[in-house]
């Protein structure tokens, strides 16, 4: 579930379908972007489905795809404009690639009840590392926010906190110090 917080209309439309599937003991694993942890409605929805048996994790970023029984996949025609529709495929090569991408994302994602801010051995969270890498790649704050599903304000606040931790007075200096610490 990329793109940050889900709309109330989307949550309302999904609720009966997810509840019916989970009541039939259909196994469901969902990866949300980290940002919905800060949205009360999306978080409550994810917690509710977890209580019904759905496995939910969050990740700094994820790609939209819905995979059914490892045999059928749906991907949006344009991830930025989901209303344009989706491609449904049963092509084994495409589905296998999407399953591999999902499994990789799942393994690095954080279970919903766990602390997503847990720092690795080198002292940086996965989200902070992703932020630094996107900025180092030359993306603007606005583009980084869109990619991570967070606001421009959040990107700037997180970068400011990183600069303070690195004792850097500019973003350039922060990039150098982050690279020296092995964060990039």
Res 180 pLDDT > 80: yes
pLDDT, tens only, 131-175? 888 888 888 888 888 877 777 888 888 888 888 888 989 888 888
- Residue 19 CB partners (closer than 8 Å, separation 6+): 52
**What average pLDDT does the segment 51-80 reach?**
88
Q: What mean pLDDT is reported for the chain?
A: 85
The pLDDT-based confidence of 87 (bands split at 50, 70, 90) is very high
Question: Looking up tokens 């200096």, which residue turns up?
Answer: 173
Strand partners, 111: 57
pTM of the entire structure? 0.63
Confidence (pLDDT) at 115: 56
Handedness of CA 62, 110, 155, 172 (dihedral sign): negative
- Residue 24 CB partners (closer than 8 Å, separation 6+): none
Query: Are 80 and 91 within 8 A, CB to CB?
Result: no
Query: How many other C-beta atoms can be found within 10 angstroms of the C-beta atom of residue 55?
Result: 14
Confidence (pLDDT) at 150: 74
Query: Are 46 and 14 within 8 A, CB to CB?
Result: no
- Using CB atoms within 10 Å of the CB of residue 101, give its burial: 0 to 12 exposed, 13 to 18 middle, 19+ buried: middle
The pLDDT-based confidence of 3 (bands split at 50, 70, 90) is low
**What average pLDDT does the segment 106-110 reach?**
83
């Amino acid at each position: 579930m990329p793109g940050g917080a889900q709309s109330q209309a989307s949550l309302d439309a999904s609720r009966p379908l997810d509840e019916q599937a989970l009541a039939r003991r259909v196994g469901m694993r969902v990866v949300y972007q980290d940002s919905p942890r800060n949205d009360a409605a999306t978080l409550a929805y994810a917690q509710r489905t977890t209580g019904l048996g759905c496995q939910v994790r969050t990740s700094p970023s994820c790609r939209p795809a819905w995979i059914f029984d490892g045999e059928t996949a749906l991907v949006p025609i344009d991830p930025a404009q989901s209303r344009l529709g989706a491609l449904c495929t049963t092509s084994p090569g495409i589905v296998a690639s999407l399953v591999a991408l999902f499994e990789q994302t799942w393994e690095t994602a954080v279970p919903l009840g766990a602390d997503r801010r847990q720092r690795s051995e080198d002292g940086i969270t996965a989200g902070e590392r992703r932020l630094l890498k996107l900025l180092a790649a030359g993306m603007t704050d606005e583009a980084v926010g869109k990619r991570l599903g967070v606001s421009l304000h959040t990107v700037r606040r997180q970068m400011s906190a990183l600069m303070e931790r690195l004792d850097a007075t500019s973003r350039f200096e922060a990039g150098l110090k982050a690279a020296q610490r092995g964060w990039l």
